[in-house]
């Protein structure tokens, strides 16, 4: 699970914190996370990988459907990253010799991106019974082909977009820009130092 904390202090004196977690799966780690949120009445977002929902038990789906403090968002269909052989796998290959510069929403055809966006959108509706309004790309990697796929689902907020840099910014979309900082040294390894000073790693895209 990747977790990020965004501290938004733009127009107000009291900082607001948005928890962004993604790669929702049926794991003990996620269970602990949700249990903690419930125990402290904390609200979080959670990025859903569409094909993961299909693997979950009915009990797990029922549990997720009854989490009032979680905002689910579209995190793609398969979270795949391509190998140089053209195979999309998750988790991604971690060596440069195997990993290609292609991911689910990065350097892939518009038709494929449209399909993956739609598939995740539909299974979230079917399995969790909710209509989502937001999207964030796996590995935060997307290109301009992602924009029409995003808009086709009727979404209005985007986690960590790069469309301003790419030159394809859609109108009227609320953005959560990366910049609050990671709160883990690596996935599943929380860092108290990062938590206490969430902006210290200063992402170049800046704050919202």
Task: List contacts with Zn ion (CB under 5 A).
Answer: 22-23, 138
Name which of 22 and 182 has its Cβ closer to Zn ion: 22
Name which of 23 and 71 has its Cβ closer to Zn ion: 23
67: number of Cβ within 10 Å: 15
- The minimum distance between CB 207 and Zn ion, in angstroms, equals 21
β-partners of residue 89 are 81
- The minimum distance between CB 188 and Zn ion, in angstroms, equals 12
> What value, to the nearest 5°, has the Cα angle with vertex 108 and ends 167 and 169?
20
Q: How many CA atoms lie within 13 A of 49 on its CB side?
A: 20
189: number of Cβ within 10 Å: 7
Distance CA 119, CA 99 (A): 25
Name which of 80 and 181 has its Cβ closer to Zn ion: 80
Name which of 105 and 163 has its Cβ closer to Zn ion: 105
Q: Sheet with 81-83: list strands edge to edge.
A: 88-89, 81-83, 99-103
Name which of 138 and 161 has its Cβ closer to Zn ion: 138
- The minimum distance between CB 138 and Zn ion, in angstroms, equals 5
- The minimum distance between CB 162 and Zn ion, in angstroms, equals 15
- The minimum distance between CB 21 and Zn ion, in angstroms, equals 9
Are the C-beta atoms of 26 and 19 separated by less than 8 Å?
A: no
């Amino acid at each position: 699970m990747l977790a990020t904390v965004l501290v938004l202090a733009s127009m107000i004196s009291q900082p607001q914190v948005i928890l962004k977690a993604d790669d929702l799966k049926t794991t003990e780690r996620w269970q602990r996370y949700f249990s903690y949120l419930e125990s402290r009445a904390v609200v979080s977002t959670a990025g859903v990988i569409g094909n993961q929902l299909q693997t979950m038990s009915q009990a797990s789906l029922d549990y997720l459907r009854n989490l009032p403090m979680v905002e689910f968002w579209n995190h793609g269909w398969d979270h795949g990253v391509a190998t140089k052989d053209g195979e999309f796998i998750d988790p991604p290959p971690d060596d440069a010799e195997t990993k290609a510069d292609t991911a689910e929403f990065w350097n892939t055809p518009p038709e494929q991106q449209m399909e993956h966006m739609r598939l995740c959108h539909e299974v979230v509706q079917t399995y969790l019974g909710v209509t989502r309004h937001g999207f964030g790309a796996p590995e935060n990697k997307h290109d301009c082909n992602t924009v029409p796929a995003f808009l086709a689902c009727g979404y209005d907020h985007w986690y960590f977009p790069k469309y301003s840099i790419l030159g394809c910014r859609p109108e009227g979309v609320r953005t959560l820009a990366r910049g609050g900082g990671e709160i883990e040294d690596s996935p599943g390894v929380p860092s108290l130092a990062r938590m206490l000073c969430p902006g210290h790693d200063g992402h170049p895209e800046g704050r919202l």
